[in-house]
Amino acid sequence: MDAIDAAHKTVHNTQHGGSTAIAARMGMSSNVLNSKVNPNCDTHHLRLDEALAIMEFTGDHSIIQAMAHRLGGVYCEVSSATKKDDLIMTALSASACQGDVMTELHQALEDGQISCDQRVALKAKIQTALSELQALGQHVDEKHASDNPHIVARWGAEKVKDGNQ
């Protein structure tokens, strides 16, 4: 799905309150918002900060998922609920999620085909596994930073020196 199509679908989803409710929260008229997410409108364009606001208001991240897909990547949410205090437990949780993906795939392929419902279930399991792996990556970074404060301080100094901060 294209990013603007995802924005249109998100804004017009009644579960999110529809364009009128979202536009009100964004401080604009629903007509303007409707034009900004209309794939056939060339006079109004959705700004990045507006796309971000839509995703924050609705909790629907299909816009950024479409952008990542177009760039050959994926968007992966790392919720605070998946982040654990213990590195080993985070690693074990990520591993367990990968096992869940393989179990789901095995069951789906028993008849040699993947049905629509099985695809949805597999995609959900894969998303959970990706989130857990991202949480593990963050945990590794945090552990590295706490184990190597001298290196982290040097990196920080280099960023300031280079003007990147």
Q: pLDDT tens-digit profile of 32-91?
A: 999 999 999 999 999 999 999 999 999 999 999 999 989 988 888 776 544 456 888 889
**pTM (2 decimals)?**
0.62
Q: Specify the pLDDT at position 100.
A: 94
* Measured distance CA(51)–CA(63) in Å, rounded: 7
Give pLDDT tens digits for 145-163.
888 888 777 766 666 566 6
Mean pLDDT, range 116-129, rounded to an integer: 91
Amino acid 146 reads S
